[in-house]
């Protein structure tokens, strides 16, 4: 695991709005998790723009320190390095996301994390920590079977039907995918995930290769921008907003999703918008 310098830790915490370094307690873990999900969106932006970033621990940390975000490998990879550097006992796991209409699987297309902590009775407890799924979860979840509400969404922790002694994080029925299955074996490095990232980020067969998608979770709201359609799911239900003007689209990207495209030139932003708008207009032709 990559050990961050004290300066890197402070810069990382500042990036997610945490004022100071604290001891590795459960309450601090919850604060870190919520801040990370709130300030760093899950996105396929760089893949769509043909500028994929590497997923090594150090590279992912630097990505975040330079005002960017990423998808699961970047976000969970960097967060695991931060937690490790703060003194948490963090473990990496092979995992697999189950899309709508697909079967459960563990295919290493998702990097899972757990954190072991002693409770007040000095008993070891395991927590599911995941800041790399876009709209789930907002806070750590105990690795204990049950249903958990984190409004406006509900999650369920259950035994995995894919692997023995594994676990499954079931998503809300109204959300973007069905769930995630995790293998219990601890992975020592990111080698297992490198070919998966290469496929996701560079193959024309990747589901993200031609899809502009960015997701972000707040305390009582989940946001998604798919091309030009902004979806907001809150306590009052789902709202859809069409963003068909470049200025409006860029404003929502920056203000809602925390993605001001800091390493994209004006020309690259124009090209990105043109591709997104063209894909959106083609989509409208199909559904109009």
Q: Does 231 map to a domain?
A: yes
Percent of the chain with pLDDT over 90: 83
pLDDT score, position 288: 58
Q: Are 68 and 52 in contact (CB under 8 A)?
A: no
Total domains present in the chain:
1
pLDDT value at 285 more than 80: no
pLDDT value at 108 more than 70: yes
Distance CA 84, CA 131 (A): 15
The range of the structural domain enclosing residue 254 comes to: 206-287
Which CATH number fits the domain that encloses residue 257?
3.30.2140.10
Q: What is the average pLDDT value for the chain, to the nearest integer?
A: 94
pLDDT score, position 145: 96
DSSP 212: -
Distance CA 42, CA 272 (A): 18
Instruction: State both tokens at 2.
Output: 């990559």
Q: Does 269 map to a domain?
A: yes
Q: Does 232 map to a domain?
A: yes
pLDDT value at 152 more than 80: yes
pLDDT score, position 83: 98
Distance CA 93, CA 187 (A): 6
Element at 173 (helix H, strand E): none
Distance CA 22, CA 28 (A): 7
pTM for the structure as a whole? 0.95
Element at 81 (helix H, strand E): helix 72-85
According to DSSP, the β-strands at 124-129 and 110-118 are antiparallel
For residue 224, the cross-strand partners are 215, 231
Instruction: Calculate mean pLDDT across residues 243-249.
Output: 95
């Amino acid at each position: 695991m990559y050990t961050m310098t004290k300066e890197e830790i402070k810069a990382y915490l500042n990036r997610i709005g945490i004022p100071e370094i604290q001891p590795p307690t459960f309450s601090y873990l919850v604060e870190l998790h919520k801040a990370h999900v709130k300030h760093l969106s899950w996105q396929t932006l760089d893949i769509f723009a043909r500028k994929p970033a590497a997923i090594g621990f150090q590279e992912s940390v630097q990505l975040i320190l330079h005002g960017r975000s990423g998808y699961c490998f970047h976000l969970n990879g960097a967060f695991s390095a931060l937690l490790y550097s703060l003194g948490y006992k963090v473990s990496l796991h092979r995992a697999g996301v189950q899309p709508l209409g697909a079967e459960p699987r563990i295919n290493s297309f998702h990097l899972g994390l757990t954190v072991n902590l002693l409770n007040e009775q000095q008993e070891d407890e395991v927590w599911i920590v995941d800041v790399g799924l876009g709209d789930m979860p907002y806070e750590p979840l105990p690795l204990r079977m049950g249903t958990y509400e984190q409004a406006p969404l509900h999650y369920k922790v259950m035994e995995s039907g894919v692997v023995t002694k594994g676990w499954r994080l079931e998503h809300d029925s109204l959300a973007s995918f069905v769930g995630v299955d995790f293998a219990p074996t601890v992975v020592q490095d990111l080698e297992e995930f490198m070919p998966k990232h290469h496929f996701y980020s560079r193959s024309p067969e990747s589901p993200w290769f031609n899809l502009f998608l960015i997701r972000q979770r707040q305390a009582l709201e989940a946001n998604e921008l798919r091309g030009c359609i902004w979806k907001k799911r809150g306590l009052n239900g789902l709202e859809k907003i069409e963003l068909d003007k470049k200025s409006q689209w860029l404003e929502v990207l920056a203000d809602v999703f925390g993605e001001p495209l800091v390493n994209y030139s004006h020309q690259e932003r124009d090209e990105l918008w043109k591709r997104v708008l063209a894909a959106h207009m083609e989509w409208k032709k199909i559904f109009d």
